[in-house]
Amino acid sequence: MTANKNKAAIVGGGVIGGGWAARFLLNGWDVSIYDPDPQAERKVGEVLENARRSLPALSDVTVPEEGRLSFASSIREAVEGADWVQESVPERLDIKHATFAAIQTHCAPDALIGSSTSGFKPSELQQGAARPEQIFVAHPFNPVYLLPVIELVGVEATLLRARDVLEAIGMKPLLVRKEIDAHIADRFLEAVWREALWLVKDGIATTQEIDDVIRYGFGMRWAQMGLFETYRIAGGEAGMRHFIAQFGPCLSWPWTKLMDVPELTDELTDMIATQSDEQSGMHTIRELERIRDDNLVAMMRALKGRNWGAGALLNEYDARVAPPLPTGIDKPVDTLRRVIPVDWLDYNGHMNESRYGQVFSDAGDVVMAMVGADRDYIAGGLSYFTVANEIGYLSETRLGDVIHVRTQVLEAKGKKLRLYHEMIRSTDNELLATCNQLLIHVSLETRKSCEPEGEVLARITALGEAQAKLPRPASLRD
User: Is residue 317 one of the residues assigned to a domain?
Assistant: no
Q: Are residues 261 and 335 in the same domain?
A: no
Are residues 92 and 233 both part of a single domain?
no
Domain identity same for 201 and 65? no
- Cis previous bond, 132, omega within 30: no
- Whether residue 26 sits in one domain with residue 168: yes
3-state helix, strand, coil in the chain (%, to 5): 45, 20, 35
User: Rounded to whole angstroms, how far apart are CA atoms 60 and 47?
Assistant: 23
Q: Last residue of a domain, which of 248, 267, 282?
A: 282
Provide φ and ψ at 230, rounded to 5°.
Answer: -60, -45
Which pLDDT belongs to residue 104? 98
95 and 225 part of one domain: no
CATH code, domain carrying 110: 3.40.50.720
pLDDT score, position 2: 41
> For residue 287, is it within any domain?
no
Domain that holds residue 404: 324-476
Asked, for residue 65, whether it belongs to a domain, the answer is: yes
Number of domains in the chain: 3
pLDDT value at residue 100: 98
Stated as kind and residue range, the H or E segment containing 305 is: helix 285-306
pLDDT at res. 271 = 87
Beta bridge partners of 434: 392, 422
**Res 256: pLDDT:** 62
> Closest by alpha carbon to 101, among 113, 116, 117, 91?
113
- Boundary of a domain, candidates 229, 260, 282: 282
> Does 347 share its domain with 201?
no
Residues 173 and 202 in one domain: no
Query: Strand, coil or helix: what is 149?
Result: strand
DSSP 342: G
Same structural domain, 99 and 228: no
pLDDT of residue 393: 96
CATH number at 220 reads: 1.10.1040.10
Residues of the chain with pLDDT under 50: 1-3
pLDDT in tens, 15-37: 999 999 999 999 999 999 999 99
Residues 203 and 173 occupy one common structural domain: no
| pLDDT for residue 1 | 38
Strands 149-153 and 135-139, sheet pairing: antiparallel
User: Do residue 79 and residue 161 come from a single domain?
Assistant: yes
Q: What SS3 state is found at 162?
A: helix
The 3-state secondary structure of 170-214 reads CCEEEECCCCCCCCCHHHHHHHHHHHHHHHHHCCCCCHHHHHHHH
What region does 406 belong to: left with phi over 0, alpha with psi -120 to 50, or beta?
A: beta
Q: What's the one-letter identity of residue 362?
A: D
Q: Could you please report the per-residue DSSP string of 237-298?
A: GGHHHHHHHHHGGGGGSS---TT------HHHHHHHHHHHHHHHTTS-HHHHHHHHHHHHHH
346 shares a domain with 420: yes
